[in-house]
Structure 1
């Protein structure tokens, strides 16, 4: 049985039939609900809330709640939910993904599921792909929730809103066809605090903002700075984009590092002098570049150094690899643009510019050096999480998209989300024509221009989809030569996106759009366009993911409209080139086929499908790989964040501090008595360790430890060690009580909290750096016949144990040495320099310190593991590897 059969329980129709029976119950209540007054509907909401509080489940009240939501939607927006939309809403409530075609009303479909789950009072999050859509949907749907008696909020990167209707919104004179226009709806959004936004029954926002707020909450210096409630239920719009396309991109909050940027400029000058196939080799399938022995020898000569891979020269390897990627793999106007002296990333899937987002691990700096713009400083990670692990924390998760089935296996395996295909309200009559294949790219573009010219003469609107800015501009020049008026929608002119998309279905319009720019906005057909055959879609290249091709097709044929789609492909396209297109092209050359003659061949069509399938599988493996590694860090993150929450929520930490004291005493004794021979135990060293912790005289303690060492009345060494631990613990506890007496119990509790929190945050940041280095170097373990993942887990566990030990030691030492001279505003000052990484919209810092600028966002593309030699970090309390018998921190680690 295949994975789709497992997910759909035999067939999609069977699942739809099951849900249809629930819809029948909802429909049966419609006559009754339609007779209720507006105030009675609002009162029904209170009654449903009370029933849920009394013990009924959301499933118990589902038919009535959905019937109320449908009636509210009809009265407020003038739109009545179709039965197929209710099928989608039930699937969302059940924690599934609904696949609904473009134009079928996904936004309204979510309303019943959101309303029902918000009745519990735990809050519902509706996740969108950008700030504009979150504002639009909060204003649009907020009116329905307000009518039902629920509050609706929206979080954007630098501001939060609450839906609160103005007087104008009740004035019928401003209504258009009975509905409030969009610009008026936005006037109903009142600015509120982030905390208030999360206390609303329904909160709209982007995936980035929800994720960044989670990370910021776990960096907050006090409970009143935390904004999110426990993660209850989320509905993710465009779920394939967020949970799959963005899954490899970790959200990162970082701070500027002090490292110099000079080496990036140096390598940017040297790397272009290297020659392909001699000094380095490019693997287009893997999007990677590997330097050869000859290339390494040249670089070593130019840099004036010996072996570049020697210990201590790791930074040279790092800069070389990033410079190679920047100069050879990453292309201007495809992967990024240079605008106003900045390198700005272009989103692979939407074609949108992403200002503020930055590639990580020095790659962005290497591209800046390549393009001759100012190189920004690298940053240190303060907190990070992948979307995969963030969204799996929700008690219940659901999603909506027009294209989910091709990724159903991944949704099920990673998120345990089933996919339900919702039938269209009206039959789909769009014609999807077979691909037309040309030998060269020039021949393909000539054929596309010819076709556009033909269609333009009849007035049939055309939307042309390209995969990169450079391709859209190239095609635009061809059309200009032919005198064909057209609009170009790409990342360089995204400000006019809504306007251009709105006119794309008008008679005679020709629109070139990079990838899926304008997603989320329907293209409505102009007068007389249906008779011409509807919107004609031309795809200029196949995307590596079939979903993206399907999304382009989905721009046409909405709600039963006519439409035609066709892809024009050349054997020089990137997808074909990466997967055998060159061989086919050589065959066509031998046959003497002209450039502009289309090739119709089943082998080529199968090659395209096979290439897409292989790339999708390859990308799935990468995402699964990222998740396997991030799961290790995720477990550690959970432990640290729980400790942090305990620090902020517990009235006192005295019992934890006393446990730390015992643990530290055990560490001290273990490090000083590791020799089998008791005579080799250095009691003076043990006492000195205690002195270093407390800053007090230790003669009395030293005498007691020496007496234990020399005593004959202990059964074995273990008993002696246990008594030493007891003596040191008692000494430290006495000193701890003396400090409490010095400060007073109340102030001591605050001191404990402040020191523990700062110590934990500082060491966690260092630990994230160490984990990054471990990830970068762990691939080399494969050469030693070791499983890199198992080795990573083993070494990461060791690093985590050292982290916990270092936190304990530093907290104890801090309590004994603190002089209460720290500034309460210090954390606020540091907060101003925080930077954010990951996703399409850069998150900003509001929850901790108000809105701020200068976000740094980094995206980890599919990059091969960097060959940085891993050296196990020696713990400060570990025996020094030089063999002196002393602790590392007292010997070579000074």
Structure 2
């Protein structure tokens, strides 16, 4: 860090010398040196300092201010493949630009990931003139327009050009879906060549910790609609909490008690609910339980125009186009008495954890990563470096306020908020979720107190609401993460009366999130205060029952004494530590589970690439494979020979016919070869279509089975086995079944498909 500080000082001295150059002179010099460094592909210390002075001066000429030493230190930290923890207002956007420039000079192909498309576009448009001045191309990759009438292949050519820029701005979900979609195509010209060189992730803790376990899923091929959703919902509505089922809110799990199982046996008229024959019934009962007990209206989803729409429970954003997976969406629809949508199969999926672990180098920016430094190092091999503040913080973190009940806390918060507003201070009231934000909003409206609500559902308006949040006597109610990436700026008048006041309505599940809340105030040495209000009915005590807290609460006292407050404070720290330990364990297990599917996914994607690029085996070898598949089915699967011939060899087979399976395969091969002989490459195209069709059809079924397995393992309560071990054992069994199914599909598709050749080859599969 000290070395970086010395470098930054030298950079700013050298940058001063560049200020005297005219715009034309500087541009010529900067472009010439940029090209020279780029071609060298290696920078010694002096070259690096010279390069840094160029990018710092380019920023000054475009944006009108000189980068701080801490921003240069942060950029060098990113370049070394680490996480730069920089407090709010320290200028992470500029830090990233400096790092991207240095990465470009080292021939890195780099992608900067932001939390949402608004921020990606904002940062791209801010940086583009700077990079353009240095003659460096950059691009913005946005979500595909699903309503566009352009052909998919044309879109991919256009999109590939964007990704081929050496500097790219996009979001994690856009890139993730492009990765999955690109590995579902059947033509090489439709496949994106994505670059996994260097990723810089803004708000890296939000993406790699908070959203780490969220799988990106591409769905398709609707399943046959189950008739069990409504009947299992009816069953669950008859159950008594605690007596018939128990739940763990924290882990979002719920399970039937022995009494609940007996009720299920009687209701569904089965001898044993958990027998192997009742797999589908058990799954639907568990989904109905989860929908009715764990998933909350207004917190996890909303109902609008007869549809269930997902909410990001932290930011409150409506997740358009997203569905709950593995039948949970339909279970919630049954609960809310809306029309059941088609249950789609999962065609492809990947978690953010494994998506970003594919990159050769990973770096990140955030204001709060240090508390999770062990996890970043162990899972992602990322070190967290705390970058010193440009101006020391003078923010005051006030003592917590404690009450027994939520109603008392609400009155305390109202009183404190009004005191601050009347004093001219802007107030940011931070809540745990959109549901809580709406409760406070309604409470303030009922007293005719005007305010803005920032729940993250207004992505494009966030900046405007945040801009107003620092104005005199303004009240803004926000969820935890809403508005991250945009600083709240205060004017001189507000600075003089104490700055922005942050009021947190409760302590959150980890110290890191508490620190995020505190970090909204006191940017760049500004004044400000933060304070937390705690009641014994807060969510943090709901999720982790604390006997001592219960005893205090039962005394029906309104005021708490010093020793009670100290006890509560101590317990909150204990609970947060336990939360963090459990979160880490859950994320680690999630990564291990997805690692199993990742290995399988990479094998299949590699096989598909080989097929698309026509790097296949000889025709004769293909015939021998088909004979081997046929022999394996007949010898090992107890197939009746007549049934086998009907299913795989000849649909018009008569039981009086004498058929030699190997001869039939040879005859079919010769027939197809003769039919397509006059058309160049038609036979290879036919084989490729068969292989892709067989792999893709069975892979979709396999991914869906893996999703179902994951759901059941996650919700299973057992003391007999480690859930991760169970998942790995079952996934290996499913993968072997998948490989055999692919072989069967290849044989069937080759023998029973219909071919037509006019302008091009048309194959109708059985």
TM value normalised by structure 2: 0.89
Q: Using the alignment, how far apart are the partners of 1:267 and 1:386 within structure 2?
A: 30
Following the alignment from structure 1 to structure 2, what is the Cα–Cα distance between the partners of residues 751 and 497?
Answer: 52
Residue by residue, what CA displacement relative to the aligned partner does 1:387-433 show, whole Å, maximum 9, x if unpaired?
11111111111111111101111111111111111111101100111
In structure 2, what is the Cα distance between the partners aligned to 1:682 and 1:329?
45
Q: Is the 8 A contact 1:436 1:600 kept in 2?
A: no
Counterparts of 1:436 and 1:793, CA distance in 2: 47
Q: Mapping of 1:48-197 within 5 angstroms?
A: 48-49=34-35, 51-53=37-39, 56=42, 61-119=47-105, 123-159=109-145, 193-197=158-162
Q: Is the 8 A contact 1:455 1:461 kept in 2?
A: yes
How far did residue 611 of structure 1 move? Answer: 0.4
Partner deviation per Cα, 1:598-630 (whole Å, 9 max, x = no partner):
986222111101101111111111111111111
Alpha-carbon distance change, 826 to 94 in structure 1, aligned in 2, over 3 angstroms: farther
- C-alpha contact 1:672 1:686 (8 A) present in aligned 2: no
In the TM superposition, 1:547-558 aligns within 5 A as 547-558=512-523
Question: Is 1:267 aligned with 2:232?
Answer: yes
Q: Which residue is equivalent to 1:539?
A: 504
d(CA) in 1 for partners of 2:427, 2:503:
7
CA distance in 1, matches of 2:737, 2:620: 19
Q: Deviations over 1:705-726 (max 9, x none)?
A: 9xxxxxxxxxxxxxxxxxxxxx
Unaligned stretches of 5+ in structure 2? Answer: 147-155
Question: Against the structure 1 CA distance between its residues 459 and 54, is the aligned structure 2 distance closer, same or farther, given a 3 Å change threshold?
Answer: closer
Distance 1:530 1:823 in 2: 77
Is 1:743 paired with 2:676?
yes
Q: Deviations over 1:196-217 (max 9, x none)?
A: 2112222111100000000111
Distance in 2 of aligned mates of 1:752 and 1:50: 49
The aligned runs of 1:543-622 (5 Å cut-off) are 543-581=508-546, 583-590=548-555, 593-594=557-558, 601-622=565-586
Q: Counterpart in 1 of 2:735?
A: 800
Paired residue for 1:30? 15
- Counterparts of 1:61 and 1:751 in 2: how far apart (Å)? 56
SS of corresponding position for 1:193: helix
- Does residue 312 (structure 1) correspond to residue 277 (structure 2)? The answer is yes
Could you say which residue in structure 2 is the equivalent of 1:873?
Answer: none
Give 1:32 deviation, angstroms.
4.8
Per-residue CA deviations over 1:281-330 (Å, capped at 9, x if unaligned) read: 23334332222233233344444555433443322222221121121222
Task: Report 1 or 2 for greater relative contact order, CA contacts < 8 Å, sequence distance ≥ 6.
Answer: 1
- Contact kept, 8 Å, 2:630 with 2:747, in 1: the verdict is no
Greater CA deviation, 480-489 or 359-368? 480-489
Q: Is the 8 A contact 1:438 1:597 kept in 2?
A: no
1:638 corresponds, among 598, 602, 605, to: 602
1:57 Cα deviation (Å)? 5.7
Segment drifting more, 349-358 vs 619-628 = 349-358
Measured in 1, the distance between the counterparts of 2:494 and 2:541 equals: 35
Shift in CA distance, 589/671, structure 1 to aligned 2, threshold 3 Å: closer
3-state DSSP of counterpart to 2:402: strand
For structure 1, the residue ranges without an aligned partner over 5 or more in a row are 1-15, 161-190, 676-680, 706-727, 828-894
Matched with 1:814 is 749
SS of the residue 2:754 aligns to: coil
Q: Give the number of equivalent residue pairs.
A: 752
SS at match of 2:224: coil
Spell out, residue by residue over 1:642-685, the C-alpha distance to the aligned partner (whole angstroms, 9 max, x if none).
Answer: 111112224x5243x5544444444545566679xxxxx99999
| Compared CA separation, residues 668 and 223, structure 1 to 2 (3 A) | closer
Kept after mapping to 2: 8 A contact 1:345/1:353: yes
Indicate the residue corresponding to 2:151 in structure 1. none
- How many Å separate the matches in 1 of 2:564 and 2:713? 47
SS of the aligned residue for 2:462 comes to helix
* Aligned partners of 1:447 and 1:596 also within 8 Å: no
1:288 and 2:253 equivalent? yes
From 649, 653, 660, the equivalent of 1:692 is 649
2:160/2:192 contact within 8 Å kept: yes
Alpha-carbon distance between aligned partners in 2 of 1:273 and 1:673, rounded to the nearest angstrom = 50
Q: Once the 2 structures are TM-superposed, how far is the Cα of residue 19 of structure 1 from its aligned partner? A: 2.3
Distance 1:407 1:768, change over 3 A: same
Alignment of structure 1 residues 347-426 onto 2, 5 Å: 347-426=312-391
Question: What is the deviation of 1:358?
Answer: 2.1
Aligned to 2:243: 278
Deviation at 1:258, TM superposition (A): 3.5
1:472 aligns with 2:417: no
Q: Is the 8 A contact 1:41 1:68 kept in 2?
A: no
Deviation at 1:770, TM superposition (A): 2.9
Q: Say if 1:669 and 1:317 are closer, same or farther in 2 by CA, change over 3 A.
A: closer
The answer on whether the counterparts of 2:326 and 2:708 sit within 8 Å (CA) in structure 1 is: no
Counterpart Cα distance in 2 of 1:447 and 1:822: 79
User: Against the structure 1 CA distance between its residues 31 and 741, is the aligned structure 2 distance closer, same or farther, given a 3 Å change threshold?
Assistant: farther
* CA distance in 2: counterparts of 1:149 and 1:795, whole angstroms: 54
Backbone CA RMSD of aligned residues: 3.8
| Correspondent of 1:653 among 616, 638, 641 | 616
Of 210-219 and 813-822, the range deviating more from structure 2? 813-822
Supply the distance in 1 between the matched residues of 2:545 and 2:181 (Cα, whole angstroms). Answer: 47
> Once structures 1 and 2 are overlaid, which stretch shifts more, 192-201 or 217-226?
192-201
For residue 681 of structure 2, give the secondary structure of its aligned residue in structure 1.
helix
